[in-house]
Amino acid sequence: MLSILDSSNYLKGLLILARKDNRLVDNEREIIRSVAREFGFSRDFYEDTLKTLMSNKYIKDDPFKFSSKDVAEKFLVDGFKLALSDGNITTPEYTWLKNFAYINEIDNPRFHNILSSFLSEHKAS
Protein backbone atom coordinates (compact mmCIF):
# COMPACT_ATOMS: atom_id res chain seq x y z
CA MET A 1 0.00 0.00 0.00
CA LEU A 2 1.39 3.38 -1.00
CA SER A 3 1.25 6.48 1.16
CA ILE A 4 -1.02 9.30 0.02
CA LEU A 5 2.02 11.32 -1.06
CA ASP A 6 3.48 8.41 -3.05
CA SER A 7 0.09 7.73 -4.66
CA SER A 8 -0.28 11.38 -5.64
CA ASN A 9 3.25 11.55 -7.01
CA TYR A 10 2.79 8.27 -8.88
CA LEU A 11 -0.25 9.62 -10.73
CA LYS A 12 1.42 12.99 -11.23
CA GLY A 13 4.49 11.31 -12.71
CA LEU A 14 2.40 9.40 -15.23
CA LEU A 15 0.61 12.61 -16.18
CA ILE A 16 3.92 14.44 -16.65
CA LEU A 17 5.26 11.60 -18.75
CA ALA A 18 2.09 11.43 -20.87
CA ARG A 19 2.48 15.00 -22.03
CA LYS A 20 6.22 14.84 -22.70
CA ASP A 21 5.63 13.99 -26.37
CA ASN A 22 3.00 16.75 -26.70
CA ARG A 23 0.13 14.37 -27.32
CA LEU A 24 -2.16 12.21 -25.23
CA VAL A 25 -3.31 9.01 -26.91
CA ASP A 26 -6.09 6.65 -25.81
CA ASN A 27 -3.66 3.98 -24.55
CA GLU A 28 -2.02 6.55 -22.27
CA ARG A 29 -5.41 7.70 -21.01
CA GLU A 30 -6.38 4.13 -20.14
CA ILE A 31 -3.14 3.48 -18.24
CA ILE A 32 -3.62 6.69 -16.25
CA ARG A 33 -7.27 5.87 -15.55
CA SER A 34 -6.35 2.39 -14.38
CA VAL A 35 -3.70 3.68 -11.95
CA ALA A 36 -5.99 6.47 -10.72
CA ARG A 37 -8.77 3.95 -9.98
CA GLU A 38 -6.30 1.57 -8.30
CA PHE A 39 -5.16 4.37 -5.97
CA GLY A 40 -8.71 5.52 -5.21
CA PHE A 41 -8.77 8.87 -6.98
CA SER A 42 -12.21 10.16 -7.87
CA ARG A 43 -13.30 9.77 -11.46
CA ASP A 44 -14.18 13.47 -11.72
CA PHE A 45 -10.67 14.41 -10.59
CA TYR A 46 -8.74 12.27 -13.04
CA GLU A 47 -11.10 12.90 -15.97
CA ASP A 48 -10.87 16.67 -15.45
CA THR A 49 -7.10 16.39 -15.16
CA LEU A 50 -6.88 14.39 -18.39
CA LYS A 51 -9.03 16.98 -20.21
CA THR A 52 -6.73 19.85 -19.24
CA LEU A 53 -3.43 17.99 -19.06
CA MET A 54 -1.74 19.49 -22.08
CA SER A 55 -2.37 23.07 -20.96
CA ASN A 56 -2.21 22.59 -17.16
CA LYS A 57 0.57 24.89 -15.96
CA TYR A 58 0.13 23.72 -12.36
CA ILE A 59 1.59 20.27 -13.01
CA LYS A 60 5.31 20.92 -12.83
CA ASP A 61 7.59 18.68 -14.91
CA ASP A 62 10.25 18.18 -12.27
CA PRO A 63 11.02 14.57 -11.32
CA PHE A 64 10.43 13.74 -7.64
CA LYS A 65 11.63 11.23 -5.09
CA PHE A 66 9.47 8.40 -3.75
CA SER A 67 9.65 7.15 -0.17
CA SER A 68 11.36 3.93 -1.26
CA LYS A 69 13.39 2.55 -4.15
CA ASP A 70 10.83 -0.27 -4.55
CA VAL A 71 8.07 2.23 -5.32
CA ALA A 72 10.38 4.11 -7.69
CA GLU A 73 11.21 0.91 -9.57
CA LYS A 74 7.51 -0.01 -9.82
CA PHE A 75 6.87 3.47 -11.18
CA LEU A 76 9.61 3.02 -13.79
CA VAL A 77 7.90 -0.11 -15.09
CA ASP A 78 4.59 1.77 -15.42
CA GLY A 79 6.46 4.75 -16.87
CA PHE A 80 7.98 2.57 -19.59
CA LYS A 81 4.57 1.02 -20.22
CA LEU A 82 3.02 4.46 -20.64
CA ALA A 83 5.86 5.88 -22.74
CA LEU A 84 5.79 2.90 -25.10
CA SER A 85 1.99 2.63 -25.29
CA ASP A 86 1.96 4.76 -28.45
CA GLY A 87 4.60 2.63 -30.16
CA ASN A 88 7.86 4.37 -29.25
CA ILE A 89 9.59 6.19 -26.44
CA THR A 90 10.56 9.74 -27.33
CA THR A 91 13.74 11.50 -26.24
CA PRO A 92 11.89 13.79 -23.79
CA GLU A 93 10.15 10.77 -22.22
CA TYR A 94 13.40 8.81 -21.94
CA THR A 95 15.29 11.81 -20.53
CA TRP A 96 12.60 12.45 -17.91
CA LEU A 97 12.65 8.79 -16.85
CA LYS A 98 16.47 8.86 -16.63
CA ASN A 99 16.33 11.99 -14.45
CA PHE A 100 13.63 10.40 -12.33
CA ALA A 101 15.80 7.30 -11.85
CA TYR A 102 18.79 9.45 -10.86
CA ILE A 103 16.79 11.36 -8.24
CA ASN A 104 15.51 8.05 -6.86
CA GLU A 105 19.05 6.63 -6.69
CA ILE A 106 18.47 4.00 -9.35
CA ASP A 107 21.80 3.59 -11.09
CA ASN A 108 22.29 3.21 -14.86
CA PRO A 109 22.71 -0.58 -14.84
CA ARG A 110 19.51 -1.05 -12.81
CA PHE A 111 17.63 1.48 -15.00
CA HIS A 112 18.62 -0.41 -18.15
CA ASN A 113 17.86 -3.75 -16.51
CA ILE A 114 14.31 -2.56 -15.70
CA LEU A 115 13.90 -1.28 -19.26
CA SER A 116 15.26 -4.51 -20.78
CA SER A 117 13.01 -6.65 -18.57
CA PHE A 118 10.02 -4.55 -19.53
CA LEU A 119 10.85 -4.80 -23.25
CA SER A 120 11.33 -8.57 -23.02
CA GLU A 121 7.96 -9.01 -21.31
CA HIS A 122 6.32 -6.56 -23.71
CA LYS A 123 7.54 -8.48 -26.77
CA ALA A 124 6.44 -11.81 -25.27
CA SER A 125 2.86 -10.61 -24.75
Q: What is the largest CA-CA distance in the chain?
A: 40
Mean pLDDT of 51-55: 94
Residue ranges of domains in the chain, CATH in brackets: 4-124 (1.10.3680)
Q: Identify the pLDDT of residue 106.
A: 97
CB 83 within 8 A of CB 17: yes
Confidence of residue 87 (pLDDT cuts 50, 70, 90): confident
Q: Identify the pLDDT of residue 124.
A: 60
